[in-house]
């Protein structure tokens, strides 16, 4: 009996799981800003925090309307839900594929540098550095990078990292400035320059490392890959110029990780 009805049950399951064909042609709702600057808030009321400022002509995808007050629920370019005052925007609808039709937020989004005040990234990778009598050695490396956002194109960054080795600790620290070359692109390149120091703390039984302190100059670059929901993937390569009064050498870091701006 079950075998007899199996094809019918399979057909019903397929029909129920597939969306209607006409759904692709249904209009999508957007809102166009009709004032010079509209404050987009985290909730439906003026007591909520402003999280984005939209300018005249900018379009935002509509995501329904809350029950109380004349506030429209919209989606910001980075995928966050927010609220716009109905008097400051004009709703409209377009069909997918129409010329100049705006798009809804997708998997990728611009980095959330616009309006951000700070940030933090945690990256990990490899530190390659010359070791006396052993040539260039590679060590596992982890680093924290707090940031102060001065402008969407410029951040001040600190850094503190540790090369992971059984022979001791190699602590890299300092600060610098980062310039974001295309802060509105989902794949946003950046370059940075800074300085600080490298301190080597060997274990008491280590024959590889010796206690040293270096001044460090740092320069490099990479890119931010911004995903929906303000998630950032950071990939970076830097060159370190390490020097003391009587020695000089170069080292490099190759790292990647996750970051956030807030």
CATH (domain of 226): 2.40.160.20
For residue 58, being part of any structural domain is answered with yes
In a shared domain, residues 141 and 165 = yes
For residue 250, being part of any structural domain is answered with yes
For residue 10, being part of any structural domain is answered with no
In a shared domain, residues 151 and 182 = yes
Q: Confidence class of residue 4 from pLDDT cuts 50, 70 and 90? A: very low
In a shared domain, residues 90 and 136 = no
For residue 176, being part of any structural domain is answered with yes
Q: What is the mean pLDDT of residues 46-64?
A: 89
Q: What is the mean pLDDT of residues 70-84?
A: 87
Residue 240: domain span: 118-261
Output 151 or 14, whichever has higher pLDDT: 151
In a shared domain, residues 140 and 76 = no
Q: What is the predicted pLDDT for the residue at 15?
A: 39
Output 176 or 43, whichever has higher pLDDT: 176
For the chain, give the DSSP string: -HHHHHHHHHHHHHHHHSPPGGGGGS-EEEEEE-SSEEEEESSSSTTSPEEEEEETT-EEEE----SSSSEEEEE-TTS-EEEEEGGGEEEEEE-TT-TT------SB---TTTT--EEEEEEEEEEEEEETTTEEEEEEEEEEEEEEEEETTEEEEEEEEEEEETTEEEEEEEEEEEEES-TTSSEEEEEEEEEEEEEEEE-TT-SS---EEEEEEEEEEEEEEEETTTEEEEEEEEEEEEE-SS-EEEEEEEEEEEEEE-
For residue 8, being part of any structural domain is answered with no
For residue 9, being part of any structural domain is answered with no
Q: What is the CATH number of the domain that holds 84?
A: 2.30.30.40
For residue 162, being part of any structural domain is answered with yes
Q: What is the predicted pLDDT for the residue at 83?
A: 92
In a shared domain, residues 122 and 217 = yes
Output 262 or 103, whichever has higher pLDDT: 262
Quick check: 67 pLDDT over 90? no
What is the total count of domains within the chain? 2
In a shared domain, residues 83 and 129 = no
In a shared domain, residues 125 and 250 = yes
Q: What is the predicted pLDDT for the residue at 208?
A: 72
Quick check: 222 pLDDT over 50? yes
Q: Confidence class of residue 133 from pLDDT cuts 50, 70 and 90? A: low
Quick check: 21 pLDDT over 60? no
In a shared domain, residues 92 and 139 = no
Quick check: 217 pLDDT over 70? yes
In a shared domain, residues 94 and 123 = no
In a shared domain, residues 95 and 135 = no
Q: What does pLDDT average to over the chain?
A: 84
Cα separation of 122 and 145, whole Å?
A: 6
For residue 4, being part of any structural domain is answered with no
Q: Among 71, 105, 139, give the residue marking a domain's end.
A: 105
Q: Among 105, 131, 155, give the residue marking a domain's end.
A: 105
In a shared domain, residues 96 and 127 = no
Q: Confidence class of residue 78 from pLDDT cuts 50, 70 and 90? A: confident
Look up the pTM and report it: 0.72
In a shared domain, residues 101 and 206 = no
């Amino acid at each position: 009996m079950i075998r007899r009805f199996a094809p019918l049950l399979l057909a019903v399951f397929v029909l129920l799981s597939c969306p209607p064909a006409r759904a692709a042609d249904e209009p999508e709702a957007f809102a166009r800003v009709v004032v010079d600057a509209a404050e987009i808030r985290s909730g439906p009321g003026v007591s909520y925090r402003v999280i984005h400022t939209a300018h005249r002509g900018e379009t935002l995808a509509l995501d329904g309307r809350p029950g109380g007050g004349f506030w429209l629920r919209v989606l910001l370019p980075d995928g966050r839900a927010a609220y716009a005052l109905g008097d400051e925007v004009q709703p409209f609808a377009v069909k997918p594929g129409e010329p100049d039709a705006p798009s809804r937020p997708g998997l990728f989004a611009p980095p959330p540098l616009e309006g951000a005040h700070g940030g933090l990234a945690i990256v990990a990778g490899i530190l390659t550095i010359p070791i006396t009598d052993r040539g260039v050695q590679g060590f596992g490396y982890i680093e924290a990078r707090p940031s102060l956002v001065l402008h969407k194109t410029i951040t001040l960054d600190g850094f503190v990292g540790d090369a992971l080795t059984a022979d001791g600790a190699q602590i890299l620290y300092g600060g610098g400035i980062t310039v974001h070359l295309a802060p509105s692109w989902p794949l946003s390149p950046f370059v940075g320059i800074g300085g600080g120091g490298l301190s080597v703390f060997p274990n008491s039984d280590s024959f590889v490392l010796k206690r040293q302190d270096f001044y460090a100059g740092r320069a490099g670059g990479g890119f931010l890959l911004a995903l929906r929901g303000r998630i950032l993937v950071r990939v970076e390569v830097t060159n370190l110029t390490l020097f003391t009064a009587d020695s000089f050498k170069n080292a490099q870091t190759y790292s990647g990780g996750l970051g956030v701006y807030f």
